Chains A and B, each alone.
Chain A
Amino acid sequence: MAHLLHTPFIPSSSSSAALRRSSASSGTRRPPVSPGVVRAKIREIFMPALSSTMTEGKIVSWVKSEGDKLSKGESVVVVESDKADMDVETFYDGYLAAIMVDEGGVAAVGAPIALLAENEDEIEQAKSKAQSPSSASSSASSSPAPAAAPAVEAQSDKAPVKAAAAAAPAVASTHPASEGGKRVVASPYAKKLAKELKVELGRIVGTGPLGRIVAKDVEAFAASGAAAAAAPAAAAAPAAAKSGSGVELGSVVPFTTMQSAVSRNMVESLGVPTFRVGYTITTDALDALYKKIKSKGVTMTALLAKATALALVKHPVVNSSCRDGNSFTYNSSINIAIAVATEGGLITPVLQDADKVDVYTLSRKWKELVDKARAKQLQPHEYSTGTFTLSNLGMFGVDRFDAILPPGTGAIMAVGSSQPTVVATKDGRIGMKNQMQVNVTADHRVIYGADLAQFLQTLSQIIEDPKDLTF
């Protein structure tokens, strides 16, 4: 314990004047100066500076948990600095009232990471203080974010707990492994995930061996929970059942935020002079390749994105856009956006640098993006940075369609299904080949017919001889 540092506990500013006075006379209890104001002695624990170069620290673990009694000199938290992990000990006796930065969280040096109450009565007060954002902004202007975030979590935390109590008996019988609902059988990873995602295990129906809750159950529940988060928790379950059955006919339903955004974009697209060029591509070789590497987690979407990206490398103009009506904007990277239908909307997650990233990574990345999209957790850079868009309706059996060009980009490609087709070859024979039709919509201010034609020719060559896709 050579490196123990003392946390600089500094009285919080919201009650600072009163606090300092009372702390000076800690033994004698003075009556409150003005009635109605509670003179709680709540101190903030700040992120200590563990080295001269340290600007922020990561909370490795909380040695104590909320409500624990602390005595002077005890280790409270382990902080990772730029150099080492160190135990940080308290300089005061009291109770750890509220943890403001959770394990794994990062806080700037000097930012509050927890509240310390002098006695047990003040714990509740400290907790409410931790939840009110004003305390953070007033005391530590350097980093209000870490304080605000846990506050939100703390509030949302309470709802599921109550709901779980009500929901538990109903769900219980669905756990064969749980002795009639008395306990929850969940795998270690499922438990860990549930804690991270703040999901109550008791509300999840397990699909693992013998009804055990496994990681994917938690993920699925968290994703569905996120969608229904707006609704009150207690009503969430029955409401979800109804929404699945369909829309109520004869009603007018206002756009969601996402639907409004789609609507705005579609109208805006009318201001762009677009034209379309179609092409038929034989996919036998691509299908064979897909079959071969499917087991490695490669998806057709990733293969198409990769093929498109490689074709775009040779035709940078098709990856360009016209921002101001006066110039070409040649994009430095090839980011393939792919349209995904979600519940109540349409979003275009982006595979960035699709020309450079290998197809296995692309496949994984794509899965991650789709999961995030379904859970509505996509970050703006994950759906707004596309330079070329793909829209694929092939899986529904659509053989050809055309797409509307999203404003701000140069081209979008509509991909139909690949179907066995009777083909006459040049030497007069007839054979069977899998073919798919693609149809590119482009902004004619920057991309001309010949550009698209050449691009499509390259694309068809890549798809018909797909060895470069897996490099």
Chain B
Amino acid sequence: MQSTLSLSFSPSSSAAAVSRSHTTRFSLNTSTPLNLRFCGLRPQALAFNASGNHRSSKLPSRPRSQAISAALSANGSPPKSFDYDLLIIGAGVGGHGAALHAVEKGLKTAIVEGDVVGGTCVNRGCVPSKALLAVAGRMRELQNDHHLKSLGLQVSAAGYDRQGVADHAINLASKIRNNLTNSMKALGVDILTGFGKILGPQKVQIGSSDKIVTAKDIIIATGSVPFVPKGIEIDGKTVITSDHALKLEFVPDWIAIVGSGYIGLEFSDVYTALGSEVTFVEALDQLMPGFDPEIGKLAQRVLINPRNIDYHTGVFASKITPARDGKPVRIELIDAKTKEPKDTLEVDAALIATGRAPFTHGLGLENIDVVTQRGFVPVDERMRVIDSNGKLVPHLYCIGDANGKMMLAHAASAQGISVVEQVTGRDHVLNHLSVPAACFTHPEISMVGLTEPQAREKGEKEGFEVSVAKTSFKANTKALAENEGEGLAKLIYRPDNGEILGVHIFGLHAADLIHEASNAIALGTRIQDIKLAVHAHPTLSEVLDELFKSAKVKAHASIPVSEPVAV
């Protein structure tokens, strides 16, 4: 740590010292003064170290902001004083995270929302789906006679009330929505109702009214809507998106799910637990693209094959017609490569889970000369918006699904916090490889960093070796106590220096287990160090403990033996 820090400082902050040491090197050839100088530098480096290492790049960012303000005054357009320090367009999880952090940093903050507070995640996404998945998980347990019997349990036939399940999801969403609203109100964040439209630099119109608000910095956090490929007719009843499915207005006998990513997979878990049969339609050659192949294979073996699910891969749903006049939902499938008609499905319902499209239309981006790419707002690694000439738009940032970097609620929030750090004078770049992701099936899937093929490709390109370690949930006491030994944790790492490149978990509570790995990646903790950390026994966290311990790293632990602590 020390060595890297002092290295990064040497070019900028200690120019004088360097030049002086040059002179000393020439004049005095003894080692003593040199040592003294370096001793003088060291505490400085350590002081920076203590205050957080993002400071290291603080200095280079300053001149840039000066240049920006100069350019602004040349235009003559920026307002003299602002209504707010920070204005966030969109009160989803990303906007909320940014607002809270902005208040903590002492910024006068407002948030603009044209729909409901909470955005997709809270109202039509992660939150209500977790309510349905919680029900699904319990139904699965109660229906699994074999599993119950092996625990010595007897349960009479489990059943469910559809409206009751739907109400649970709706109630959860409204509860979280209220929590979010109240947390912002309590902190003094102004919630402005209406769709935000950018009129010019640092200027936003709220709704169709004449109300115009100015702010020093603006964050676009407008999120996304379900993406519906052309040829598919959504009627909201038999051909639906996740928006409708979360209301659980009916549980079809047979539902086709178009797309086998996170959303499709989670809904297949819900629907099969509630008694539906599911047919996946996947455009790629295998189910669950995007997951580490090995995890995907195991997940298919556990989440797809034994359930009432079949699938068509390598096909597009070219046309989907809703059920009407006593006819079922019709899905026409064409080969993904040759575009030849391949098959037709007749099912009771179809759920379109083909991903999400950014919601950036009507945002007034044309007023500041920004052209979206497939709807996404182009940004640099600091979430600064880039205009059509490839230049940064001053004081404008875009986070979350609207920029498409990583379409996850917590990624949006992290990006928002990163932006607030920047506008309050501390440069910060979010490491997206440290952002974990999870799929809440039963059991869960979680991941952080690179997949094995990605890591191998990177290793080949950059010339380092890549190793893989694996542990099974079958060897974990707690998992066996729960009778849930099905699962795998996989670590992809560099054996030379112990860097964690990726961790993938499939098994009981995988979504909660991933954070030890994602935190290690975010903080740069190496395997040789983390493997010495202690895990309570017996817990599922020992799966990761074993995983780190089974890695074969050549480097030794960097933490020196500390003072003994009396207990």
- B348 located at the interface, meaning its Cβ lies under 8 Å from any Cβ of chain A in the complex: yes
- A209 located at the interface, meaning its Cβ lies under 8 Å from any Cβ of chain B in the complex: yes
CB–CB A188/B474 < 8 A:
no
Q: Which chain A residues (194-233) contact chain B, with CB distance < 8 Å?
A: 208-210, 212, 214
CB–CB B346/A210 < 8 A:
yes
- A361 located at the interface, meaning its Cβ lies under 8 Å from any Cβ of chain B in the complex: yes
CB–CB A192/B308 < 8 A:
yes
User: How large, as a class, is the contact surface on chain A?
Assistant: 20 to 34
Chain B residues with CB under 8 Å of A85's CB are 298, 301
- Shortest beta-carbon distance from B149 to chain A in Å: 10
Q: Chain B 55-85 against A: per-residue CB contact (8 Å), 1 yes, 0 no? A: 0000000000000000000000000000000
Interface residue from B154, B278, B488 paired with A188 (Cβ < 8 Å)? B278
Nearest-neighbor residue (CB-CB) of B149 within chain A: A361
Chain B residues with CB under 8 Å of A361's CB are 154, 156
Distance between Cα atoms of A358 and B157 in the complex (Å): 11
Chain A residues with CB under 8 Å of B468's CB are 2
Chain B residues with CB under 8 Å of A275's CB are none
- B472 located at the interface, meaning its Cβ lies under 8 Å from any Cβ of chain A in the complex: yes
Interface residue from B277, B343, B344, B346 paired with A189 (Cβ < 8 Å)? B277
Nearest-neighbor residue (CB-CB) of A211 within chain B: B346
Contacts A61-B305, A83-B472, A188-B308 given; does A210 touch B328 at CB 8 Å:
yes
- Shortest beta-carbon distance from A39 to chain B in Å: 38
- A60 located at the interface, meaning its Cβ lies under 8 Å from any Cβ of chain B in the complex: yes
- B354 located at the interface, meaning its Cβ lies under 8 Å from any Cβ of chain A in the complex: no
CB–CB A209/B470 < 8 A:
no
Distance between Cα atoms of A191 and B310 in the complex (Å): 8
Contacts A83-B472, A83-B475 given; does A188 touch B156 at CB 8 Å:
no
Distance between Cα atoms of A31 and B301 in the complex (Å): 46
Q: Which chain A residues (208-265) contact chain B, with CB distance < 8 Å?
A: 208-210, 212, 214
Contacts A2-B468, A177-B346, A209-B253 given; does A189 touch B154 at CB 8 Å:
no
- A357 located at the interface, meaning its Cβ lies under 8 Å from any Cβ of chain B in the complex: yes
Chain B residues with CB under 8 Å of A212's CB are 254, 346
Contacts A296-B157, A297-B157 given; does A83 touch B474 at CB 8 Å:
yes
- A185 located at the interface, meaning its Cβ lies under 8 Å from any Cβ of chain B in the complex: yes
- B406 located at the interface, meaning its Cβ lies under 8 Å from any Cβ of chain A in the complex: no
Distance between Cα atoms of A82 and B254 in the complex (Å): 36
Nearest-neighbor residue (CB-CB) of A361 within chain B: B154
CB–CB B328/A177 < 8 A:
yes
- B520 located at the interface, meaning its Cβ lies under 8 Å from any Cβ of chain A in the complex: no
- B172 located at the interface, meaning its Cβ lies under 8 Å from any Cβ of chain A in the complex: no
- B392 located at the interface, meaning its Cβ lies under 8 Å from any Cβ of chain A in the complex: no
CB–CB B154/A357 < 8 A:
yes
Q: Which chain A residues (63-116) contact chain B, with CB distance < 8 Å?
A: 78, 83-85
Nearest-neighbor residue (CB-CB) of B309 within chain A: A188
Chain A residues with CB under 8 Å of B222's CB are none
CB–CB B253/A187 < 8 A:
yes
Q: Chain B 273-287 against A: per-residue CB contact (8 Å), 1 yes, 0 no? A: 000011100000000
Contacts A83-B475, A188-B308 given; does A209 touch B157 at CB 8 Å:
no
CB–CB B308/A189 < 8 A:
yes
CB–CB B157/A188 < 8 A:
no
Can you give 24 A-B contacts (C-beta < 8 A)? A2-B470, A3-B470, A61-B305, A83-B475, A85-B298, A85-B301, A183-B343, A185-B346, A187-B253, A187-B277, A188-B254, A188-B279, A188-B309, A189-B277, A189-B308, A191-B310, A192-B308, A209-B328, A209-B348, A212-B254, A296-B159, A358-B154, A360-B157, A361-B156
A: residues with CB less than 8 A from B are 2-3, 60-61, 78, 83-85, 177, 179, 183, 185, 187-189, 191-192, 208-210, 212, 214, 296-297, 357-358, 360-361, 364
Q: What are the 7 tightest A-B residue pairs by CB atom distance, in nearest-first order?
A: A360-B156, A189-B308, A188-B310, A84-B472, A188-B277, A187-B277, A189-B277
